[in-house]
Structure 1
């Protein structure tokens, strides 16, 4: 009976972790239930799956997916934040939560992140979270691509304006001469 329940839990975990773009392990000690619920809501709004489960079951599910690099970090209180859409959103949401709710107390904290088959330590995750969002980066790229065209158009308008002024001056001069 217990084995079948654990098997179902591992199967569910494997499903939740499959096709993840980012898996972030979080040390959640030091926060109360109200704060945990706030963090869960933030993750939910960002479409990040956040859960707590026994380390051994998480380890089995990850190993079933071929991810063994996280095994040494599955010790002590561990929560898992999984994003299937964005590589940065779990880290970004935790950093925002630390700033806005926890007032930079330092907990909860990153243990490690697994993004694009690479391990990211806490400092690297913090740096990654501080990068501009995908939308902001795309806006900057488009603005950079648009700038030369805008400059070209304004230069051409200036040339045309000067040409019209010159024609107008010539027309006035001929009108005065006649």
Structure 2
């Protein structure tokens, strides 16, 4: 890479860091090309990006961003992963790390909050953004259906009472 390519790479990473909410730092010491390709495909299917970057250039790109706290993690053969959905990146990385001991999660940053490997694993256990949206929507809709049921209940109870009086009156009229 010449100087202009490096500057363009740093600018591109800074633009990515400005748009994303979560960055994961992993170590890929001894990861085969096939495994790296598999990981990239899994990340892409989860809506995330996985990129191996030179540590010095990545540290330059992190300068001045909210993710500056992960700069100390950039030692050795590292890679970065990011997405707008932080849980998707964490889940994909944790699942891949379970099956491949050469892929190690070093940590990450969720906004200005720096996470260690355990923090990333805890983040991976959370439900995804889509699952949270679905449960929130369900919670919003549930009170509306309950309110409708409560409002309909007095009317149906009155109808039953009137029906019972009508049947009682009919039975008395038939008996007389």
State if a TM-score over 0.5 links the two structures.
yes
**1:127-176 deviation line (CA, Å, top 9, x unaligned):** 11111122222222232233333233334444433322221221122223
Structure 2 portions without partners, runs of 5+: none
The 5 A counterparts of 1:79-118 are 79-83=79-83, 85-99=84-98, 102=99, 105-118=100-113
**CA 65–157 in structure 1, closer or farther in 2 if over 3 Å, else same:** closer
For residues 6-53 of structure 1, the C-alpha deviation after alignment (integer angstroms, 9 at most, x for no partner) is 334333433443332211111122432222111101212233221112
Count of residues in correspondence between the two structures: 173
Tell me if structure 1 keeps the 8 A contact 2:25–2:105: yes
Which secondary structure does the structure 1 equivalent of 2:157 belong to? helix
* Whole-Å separation in 1 of the counterparts to 2:137 and 2:16: 35
Match of 1:147 among 135, 142, 146: 142
Whether 2:9 is the aligned partner of 1:9: answer yes
TM value normalised by structure 1:
0.81
Q: Matches of 2:147 and 2:14 in 1, distance apart?
A: 54
SS of the aligned residue for 1:18 comes to helix
Alignment match, 1:40: 40
**Cα displacement string for residues 96-126 of structure 1 (whole angstroms, at most 9, x for unaligned residues):** 3345xx1xx5542211212211211111111
Contact 2:87 2:127 in 1 (8 A): no
Q: Deviations over 1:50-93 (max 9, x none)?
A: 1112211211222264754222211011001122x223322122
CA distance in 2, matches of 1:149, 1:10: 50
When residues 160 and 13 of structure 1 are mapped into structure 2, their CA distance, relative to the original with a 3 A threshold, is closer
Tell me which residue corresponds to 2:26.
26
Gaps in structure 1 of 5+ consecutive residues: none
Tell me if the contact between 1:14 and 1:64 (Cα under 8 Å) persists in the aligned partners: no
- Normalising by structure 2, what TM-score? 0.81
1:74 is matched with 74
